[in-house]
Chain A
Amino acid sequence: MTRVTAQGLTVERGGRAILSDVSCTLEAGTFVALVGANGAGKSTLLSALAGLLKPDRGEVTLDGVPLSRIERRELARRRAYLPQNPRAEWPISVERLVALGLTPQLPAFGGLPGGFEPRLTQAIEACDLTGQRLQPATTLSGGELARAMLARALVGDPEILIADEPITGLDPRHAIDTVQRLQALAAAGKLVIAAVHDLTLAARTATHLMALRQGKLAAFGPMADVLTPDLLRTVFDVEAQVTGTGRDTAVDFHQPVV
């Protein structure tokens, strides 16, 4: 059972605390939506949880072992991380781009061993990219690229997926598509943590909500318990309304709080 625990995470930059004293325990089978205003520390928290940023104080543990003590390839096999607006730097084919997700599984030399071919095809099919398989990644549309990057993250079958704003910039259909994939992953027993700005989509698909305000953890818990107008008001400084429950939830923002 995968369990990621953060204890007293504090990250300071230029004398200012970007994250201060964040503690939480995240478990397999949940889809945690991370929300917060711009600059609240969402990306920093995700980087720290992914083990890509060493906190100034506190630590993150995976099944009780500090991330800093897990060998980097081992960690790479167990958790996948997608940064904000990932892009391909060379016009490599979608197939090769997705295969890069297997990097921590591969030996130092040589091409893709034959045994990995089915996994590659499966990831490409699962993300609806069969038609683009041989297309250069630099010519993909925004939605296709986002799917290709998701396939890249999933091809190694990680236990944990950490994604920084995976639906920002996607049209409604692709956004819904993406969150439903994340939801399905959580349902299949993975731990999914994603920063999102679309609260309605998050409320309908995520199991848990984590809210950051000025680097501090404002709330964390099951979606139904935590998502309230009061919380949104504190976190975003905007009057908000939450209607419906479960798959019918809708979040509306009104006036900024003066």
Chain B
Amino acid sequence: METLRDALDFSDFSRAERVALVLFSLLLLLFPWLGTGSFVKTVVIQFLLFSLFGMGWNTIGGYGGQVELGKAQYVGIGAYTVALMMVWWKIPFWISMPIGVLIALGYSFIIGYPLFRLKGHYFAIATICTSLVLQDIFINWKLVGAAKGIELPIHEHPDFLYMQFKSDTYYFYFIMALFYAGLVYMNWFRKSKLGYQLRMIKDDEEAAQSLGIDARWCKIKAYSIASAFVAVGGGFLAVYNLYIDPYSVMDLDLSIKIALMAMLGGAASMWGPIIGAAFLVPLDRFLGSWLGGQRGLIGVDFMIYSALIMIVSAYQPRGIWGIVEQFRRRDR
């Protein structure tokens, strides 16, 4: 099938990129046996998870050029669906996750339809609004645990039906598999008709319209894809942490982090979100653990984060990958 072939075909990347990808993958595969501590393992798992989030965001935010800051609501939808289905009806992960994705897709279409009448700043603010509204509803909704959140019951390990494991290694390979699934999907996406059309919309929406592209509908489609991606990650979070609440999975800060990582790494590129996550996740965790331990320094990690955001915005909006591309073009 052409789709599968396209998805697995990385040949239009440079040699250097392909080699790097292979090395990186090997490293990941062998990682659990490299004898690093559990802290590093959690960081790597977080890195893979945020890469997944970032790739999803990239679909609409990077390639589509629509900066949206409300991804967290879909993380929440994914996480809550898995959690609630397990707690209420003992439904295994492999069924609740796809349902979570479907709900996310449905919700994104409903919201997306009015949302994409907006552009630019108005759009960005509106995405924040929708996320805040959902979070507020969940905080006050007793049925889903309100602010206390949901605790998932612990099963005998290892449990492949409900995806619960004692050792992080299982989770590691799980998120790695999801990561590669996402990567392959993105590879297909950027070569697909929708991918091309979306990039055209970003470049010049008026011209795109003149080429038979229904811009609004394309954006909605991309937005929904992004939401599905992110919901998958949310489902993972639920079974990994075994505890979720509206503050940890639906927060505005989460949305910002996701968008920021993709932007820092270089939006609108395959590797951008991954690079961004590779930078920021360790930074976030190490800063957090180093500074957080010292009481007087709450929030310094975020300060550094935000200073970074400002600097990048002011001087290199195209992110790290943007710098790489600039060098490449100069050589031509």
**A and B are interacting partners:** no
